[in-house]
Each structure stands twice: as C-alpha cells, then as structure tokens.
A = this chain, B = another copy of it.
Amino acid sequence: MLFLTQEARDRLLLEDEVAPMPRAQVTRILKEAGLRPTRQRIALGCLIFGDGHRHLTAEHLHLEALEAGISLSLATVYNTLFQFDEAGLIRRVSVNSGKAYYDTDPGDHHHFYIEDEDRIIDIAPDRISVDGLPEPPPGYAISKVDVVIRLKRIEGVG
C-alpha cells in the first residue's frame, strides 16, 4: 500500500518543494487505493499530498481549494476526506474540539493538542510507546490506538 520510508518521504518533499504533487502521481495513488480519479479528487489530492505533512479541517481544505481556483462544494471535501481516510491515505484525528482534523501523514504516530489554539502537533513515532495494552473484550480486536496529549500554555512565562 502506501507506507513510505522516511527516506522516500524526504525525497518526495524535495521534489515537490513548494508545489503540489503532480496530477499524474496523484492519479496513480488514487487508482491504487481503488478510488476513481475524478477531477475533484485529483485536485484535492494534489493539495493534500503535495505540501508536506499537515493537519487540515474540511473547511480549511475547502478554502485552499477555492484559493487555488478549484471550484467544489464543502460537502464534496467532507466526502473526499472520509474516503481518503477509509483508504488509509490520510488519518482522521480525534480531539475534543467539535471539528474533525485530518492528518496528511497516515503513518503510525500520535499527537499533541493545544486546546487554547485549536492546534495539533505531531509526535515523532519513536518518542512514545504504550505498554500493557489490555485484552480487548471477547469477540473484539484492537483496530487502532489513539494517544492525544493535551497541552496548556504555561502561565507567567515571559
């Protein structure tokens, strides 16, 4: 599927330094994921996969698309994000804010969440480990482990 080595990722980032990922490449990714490469998906894919790793809300991505001259509805952005998540291309992140965030890095890692600023920061995958994972109840299996470390600004600094 689509798990890149760090090296491969770095190479990608260099190639696409500022710009979005080329359409041809996005098309390939979509096909491999079993998603029909439609105009809208390709456009969103270019934005999502091209510009480094980020944490996007549907609304933010919609704005970016409009700014880039791509005209589509917010609902389509929601649906597309949902499908990309299902396909493992991106990862929905759950924080307590009402909004849903999507991490453009689908790799296995966890997150800081700064409530006051409604901002998410990646935690490097090797910096944290969960021990003593409990047995799931009979009939169930673990599908994913989400760790969110909630941060608050230290008062009286500066």
Closest residue of chain B to A145, judged by CB? B149
Contact across chains for A141 and B129 when beta carbons are under 8 A apart:
no
Taking a contact as CB atoms under 8 Å apart, the answer to whether B141 and A152 are in contact is yes
Shortest distance in angstroms between A111's beta carbon and chain B's nearest beta carbon?
10
A127 at the B interface (CB under 8 A): yes
Which residues, 108 to 158 on A, are CB-close (under 8 Å) to B?
112, 114-115, 121, 123-124, 127-134, 136-137, 139-154, 157
| Chain B residue at minimal CB-CB distance from A134 | B127
Q: Range of interface residues on chain A?
A: 35 or more
Instruction: Report the separation of the CA atoms of residues A153 and B137 in the bound assembly, to the nearest whole angstrom.
Output: 10
CA distance A100 to B145 in the complex (A): 19
Complex: A94 Cα to B95 Cα, angstroms: 6
CB distance from A133 to the nearest CB of B (A): 7
Additional pairs, 8, CB under 8 Å, beyond known A94-B95, A94-B96: A92-B96, A130-B130, A133-B149, A136-B149, A139-B153, A141-B152, A144-B149, A145-B148
